[in-house]
Structure 1
Amino acid sequence: MKYLVTGGAGFIGSHITKELVKQGDSVLVIDNLNTGKEDNLEAIRNKIEFVRASILDKELLDKITRDIDGVFHQAALASVQDSFSKPEEYHNVNVNGTENILKLAVKNNFKVVYASSSSVYGDPEKIPIKESDKKNPINPYAETKLKKEELAIKYSKMGVEVIGLRYFNVFGKGQSKEYAGVLKIFLEKVRDELAPKINGDGSQFRDFVYVEDVANANIMSMKSEIKHEFFNVGTNSSITILDLAKTIIKIAGLNVEPTFGPPLKGDVMKTVADISLIKEKIGWEPRVMLTDWIKEIISSKKFNEV
């Protein structure tokens, strides 16, 4: 099978690309490298096709999607904080870019699996969060994710096979500040034997899910018989930011205490995924747990893998 991965040099996209290559599929990557890095694909660079371009280039997208079986749409702007100052840019890339892909799915007949986000729920009324729960985005970034879902529904009614994956806090090698950034920041502080700094009081709950598990959720969704669905991609477990900081400090054996700063604008208080639907429909479940990964990183001093 031949697949296109948009944003394929990015954090999650590069892991999807590597797993597809491992499974023997042909892969074409498109990435403008504004946030993605070609280094993320170095190990497989001679096994894939790479095009440096934007998903806003409609003519190019049309040309490169004429003979593919599916698109993993990961290209997006992903910073909650930046979205407040650049709402139009976020709408253009995240919403219009997604519609470019979906329009071509109608024309060129391919399946789409794309990155949505747990941010569409806002601050949920209860946890764990089910896919059917109320959507209440509280920042411009999350609003673009919900608009993408509305587009997915619209185009599914036109016959497009499209699955949206609502990522919770994705962590792992090559992670960026936009995803599980607090984890990366805390580990870098511990590496330098400094105290982690928490935004807010640390009572925020987060559901951290490993990037390779997320890549597998994408591929299993693509290769499934499911034509249209939204799935939570998390672990159904959570940790507070304060407990995360204390856990990292304890594992590292440091004698420091976390410090505190002002809360971040647009930050949600609790995110925990109910993943029963994705387990039932495609048989996916997480395999790598956060604490085990932290222990491995600290004990082996593999901070370059953060």
Structure 2
Amino acid sequence: MSDWSGQRVLVTGGASFIGSHLVEDLVAAGASVRVADDFSSGRRENLAAVIDDVEVFEGNLKHWAFADRATTDVDTVFHLAADHGGRGYIANYPANCATNMALDNIVFETAANNGVENITYASSACTYPTDIQTERQRLSEDMVSFEDRGGAYADETYGWAKLMGERSLTAFHEQYGIDASIVRIFTAYGPRENESHAIIALVAKAYARQDPYEIWGDGTQTRNFTYVKDITTALRRAAERIDDATPVNAGIEEYISINEVAEAVFDWFDWEPDEVAYRTDKPVGVEHRAADTTRARELIDWDPEYDLQRGLDRTIDWYTSTQDVEQVSAELTQRLTSR
């Protein structure tokens, strides 16, 4: 881990699933860390391990005065704050996701006004064109283009908002000379994630012994499930090694089907439902998604360290040790589509 001693760092959305893991990494690397979060989806308990070592600002970054205060006297901003959730959330709340465009620009502008030197933006695989994800082809960064006619065709409103965030940060780099980097995050999972995302949803259903066990879609759709600590490593290395807003992918190159994850979850619990019910009426997103990580290897010396089994073991250990099974059972339907 690189030395961040003496660096003043702001992590927006720092109490979130990914954000809190990044905060822990930065504290361990010696940074002076500030968290800005409205706690709409982030949780204070996510920061329990470092709460005495960080500064926490609570407020809404869509409000100029709060964003201005949060970005004052910091060197680097990791911008993770966003209104988002799993596939059910982004399909059902497009207007909420659209507000990310305002959020991003306010953070970038206040950061520029306050002399922030470096901004790293947590983007998404949802920026990639949906029509190239019906068959298995790994997504490379140049498949998104702002120069070529028709070069952008993002995934739902959330994906378009993230794509506009990338373009906006590039513009701030060009106009203000701010060092900038962009990390396109692919299907992160791990401790502290909620049930609106695929792996935690599958774990929660098995933990609650749901039977018939529901799988959204036909189960053959694939994702490149990437463990959270690999994601936070990519974010830090991008901040350290990229300054011209070149985007890099952070995701494994392996295609893993929902059915394969479900089987691995059943094995962990040593349990199998009597029936699996495939819910093809539910939102599932694109058919296949995995990352080409050639650029990440070349520019930030990044390769994921965690395979699915290792990451899944850590994730299920966390989930079963922190969640009450009766409460999960009672709230399961609501948890699957909330933030």
TM-score, scaled to structure 1: 0.91
Which runs of no fewer than 5 residues in structure 1 stay unpaired? none
Comparing 17-26 with 220-229, greater Cα deviation is found at: 220-229
Partner in structure 2 of residue 31 of structure 1 = 37
TM-score relative to the length of structure 2: 0.82
Opposite residue 30 of structure 2, the aligned amino acid is G
Of stretches 115-124 and 256-265 in structure 1, the one that deviates more from structure 2 is 256-265
Q: Secondary structure at the match of 2:143?
A: coil
- Equivalent of 1:90, from 97, 118, 121? 97
CA-to-partner distance for each residue in 1:125-156, whole Å, 9 max, x for gaps?
55111011144223111111111122122222
2:333 corresponds in structure 1 to none
Q: How far apart, in 1, do the equivalents of 2:71 and 2:277 lie?
A: 49
Question: In structure 1, what is the equivalent of residue 147 of structure 2?
Answer: none
| 2: CA distance, partners of 1:242 / 1:202 | 5
Alignment partner, residue 166 of structure 1: 184
Q: Work out whether 1:74 is the aligned partner of 2:105.
A: no
Match of 1:124 in 2: 132
**Alignment check: 8 A CA contact 2:206 2:265 kept:** yes
Aligned residue identity for 1:128: R
State the percentage of identical aligned residues.
Answer: 25
Aligned to 2:120: 113
2:22 to 8, 16, 26: 16
Further displaced range: 31-40 or 252-261: 252-261
Pairwise CA distance, 1:297: 5.4
Letter in 2 for 1:59: A
Q: Which runs of 5+ in 2 are unaligned?
A: 1-6, 145-151, 324-339
- Aligned CA distance change for structure 1 residues 252 and 301 (closer, same or farther; 3 Å): farther
1:265 matched residue in structure 2: 283
Aligned residues: 302
- Residues 264 and 153 of structure 1, relative CA distance in 2, 3 Å threshold: farther
Q: 1:84: how far off?
A: 4.8
Match of 1:42 among 48, 51, 57: 48
Question: Which residue of 2 is the match for residue 99 of structure 1?
Answer: 105
Tell me which residue corresponds to 1:153: 170
1:139 and 1:225 mapped to 2: Cα distance?
28
Contact 2:77–2:120 under 8 Å retained in 1: yes
Partner SS for 1:116: strand
5 Å-filtered alignment, 1:201-212, equals 201-212=218-229
> For the structure 1 residues 294 and 54, does the alpha-carbon distance in structure 2 shift closer, same or farther, using more than 3 Å as the test?
same
List per-residue Cα deviations over 1:9-68 (Å, max 9, x = no partner): 110111111111111100000100011100000111111000111111212322332321
**Helix, strand or coil at the partner of 1:201:** coil
Counterparts of 1:206 and 1:235, CA distance in 2:
9
* Residues 1:268 and 1:246: Cα distance change in structure 2 (over 3 Å): same
Given that residues 198 and 260 in structure 1 are in contact (C-alpha distance below 8 angstroms), is that contact kept between their aligned partners in structure 2?
yes
Say what the alpha-carbon RMSD is for the aligned residues. 2.1
Counterparts of 2:78 and 2:318, CA distance in 1: 33
Superposition pairs of residues 1-12 of structure 1, within 5 angstroms = 1-12=7-18
Residues 121 and 166 in structure 2, CA contact (< 8 A), matched pair in contact too: no
**Preserved CA contact (<8 Å) 2:188 2:231:** yes
Task: Report if the CA contact (8 A) 2:36-2:70 is conserved.
Answer: no
Q: Which amino acid aligns with 1:191?
A: Y
Judged with a 3 Å threshold, the aligned counterparts in structure 2 of structure 1 residues 276 and 9 are, in CA distance, closer, same or farther, namely same
What are the residue-to-residue correspondences of 1:186-201 with 2, within 5 Å? 186-195=202-211, 196-201=213-218
User: Which stretch has the larger CA shift, 256-265 or 15-24?
Assistant: 256-265
How far did 1:290 drift? 1.3
| Contact 1:72–1:113, Cα closer than 8 Å, also in 2 | yes
Tell me if structure 2 keeps the 8 A contact 1:116–1:145.
yes
SS of residue paired to 1:132 = helix
The SS at the match of 2:266 is: helix
Equivalents in 2 of 1:87, 1:243: separation in Å? 30
Deviation at 1:240, TM superposition (A): 0.7
Report if aligned partners of 2:216, 2:283 keep a CA contact under 8 Å in 1.
no
The alpha-carbon distance between structure 1 residues 149 and 253, as it changes in their structure 2 partners (threshold 3 A), is: same
Deviation of residue 293 (structure 1)?
A: 2.7
Mapped partners of 2:139, 2:15: distance in 1: 30
